[in-house]
Amino acid sequence: MNEDCKGKILGSPEAQVVQTKEFEMDQPLLVCCFPSAGVVGTIAANTLIENFDMEEVAHVRSRYMPSAAIFLEGRLRHPFRIYGKKEKNLLVVTAELPVADEGLYPVSSALLDWGASVGVKEAVILDGIPVQGLPSNRKVLFAAEEEKLGELKEDETMEILSRGIITGIAGSILSETLCRDMVGFALLTPAIAMVPDPEGAVQLLEALNRLYNVNVDVTELKESAAEIRKKMEEMAQQVDGLRRSQPGPGRPGYERMFA
């Protein structure tokens, strides 16, 4: 990254990308991570940002995002940020606040317009698929544009997602790449629905390492994942013991919680 620039703005009044740092990259990979099941996208983004000491280079402004202040370690941050690392040829997009449905198109369009202006040719979504309980056989699934499918199929540890719908800002970004000179694809993994799931983030980051040699270190993430899995298993055993101790069939629907 070079010297600060004076807030270059791209977009419409409804949604704008404000670039606050000058930089040059050669067709950087745009990695998009948003809150979802197990917050795996957010965990993955934070790991990339911290591992590579990435610098905030731009942020998104839009009237379709809640007016709120985000604090990270006591410092105010924009709720929808873009980080960059020249040495890794990498851009990471992350946000804490949702985008209203009616603002998905202008926000994703402004983001990809800006991405195209800095040379982005590929955009990947890292996301979680919500499941009940702990995923026992976790794999990374992918969905991509036609020209990317062959490359992703070469990785035998991943599987194609045969059908489905990706909604929200992630789905809007993928939809917009179809209309541009840019390839969009998603890497997805089953994730615990309501609990932070670092193991899911590990799966996605390891897939990113294999595909792009980004070499992000996931050692600490694996340790925290093992601890969370242990606590979740203990909780499940306690609940199961409580269920077995109850006389009669129990309340209707109770069993389905742990299917």
CATH number of the domain within which 134 lies: 3.40.50.10900
Average the pLDDT over 98-113 and give the result.
94
DSSP string, the chain: --SEEEEEEEEETTEEEEEEE----SS-EEEEE-S-GGGHHHHHHHHHHHHTT-EEEEEEEETTS----EEETTEEE-SEEEEEEGGGTEEEEEESSPPPGGGHHHHHHHHHHHHHHTT--EEEEEEEEEESS--SS--EEEEE-HHHHHHHHT-TTEEE--S----HHHHHHHHHHTTTTSEEEEEEEEEESSS--HHHHHHHHHHHHHHH------HHHHHHHHHHHHHHHHHHHHHHHHHHHSSSS-STTTGGGG-
148-168 exposure pattern, b = at least 16 Cβ within 10 A, e = fewer: beeebeeeeebeebeeeebeb
Cα distances from 244 to residues 8, 70, 92, 153, 251, in angstroms, run 63, 45, 47, 45, 12
Top pLDDT among 132 and 60 is at 60
Read off the pLDDT of residues 122-138 as tens digits, 9 standing for 90 and up: 999 999 888 877 777 78
255 domain-assigned? no
Average the pLDDT over 90-113 and give the result.
94
Structural domain total, the chain? 1
Residue 183 has pLDDT above 70, yes or no: yes
CB 21 within 8 A of CB 5: yes
Read off the pLDDT of residues 8-37 as tens digits, 9 standing for 90 and up: 776 567 899 999 999 999 999 999 999 888
132 domain-assigned? yes
The pLDDT value given to residue 9: 72
Mean pLDDT, the chain, rounded, equals 83
Residue 240 has pLDDT above 60, yes or no: no
Residue 257 has pLDDT above 60, yes or no: no
Residue 175 has pLDDT above 50, yes or no: yes
Top pLDDT among 97 and 172 is at 172
CA 222 to chain centre: 18
**Alpha-carbon distance 47 to 224, whole Å?**
12
258 domain-assigned? no
CB 187 within 8 A of CB 160: no
228 domain-assigned? yes
Average the pLDDT over 110-119 and give the result.
95
Q: Is the pTM of this model over 0.75?
A: yes
**Alpha-carbon distance 20 to 183, whole Å?**
26
Residue 1 has pLDDT above 50, yes or no: no
Read off the pLDDT of residues 197-228 as tens digits, 9 standing for 90 and up: 888 899 999 999 999 999 999 988 888 766 76
253 domain-assigned? no
The pLDDT value given to residue 3: 45
The pLDDT value given to residue 114: 96
Domain containing 227 equals 4-244
Identify residue 138 by its one-letter amino acid code. Answer: R
56 domain-assigned? yes
Residue 181 has pLDDT above 50, yes or no: yes
The pLDDT value given to residue 231: 61
249 domain-assigned? no
129 domain-assigned? yes
Residue 258 has pLDDT above 50, yes or no: no
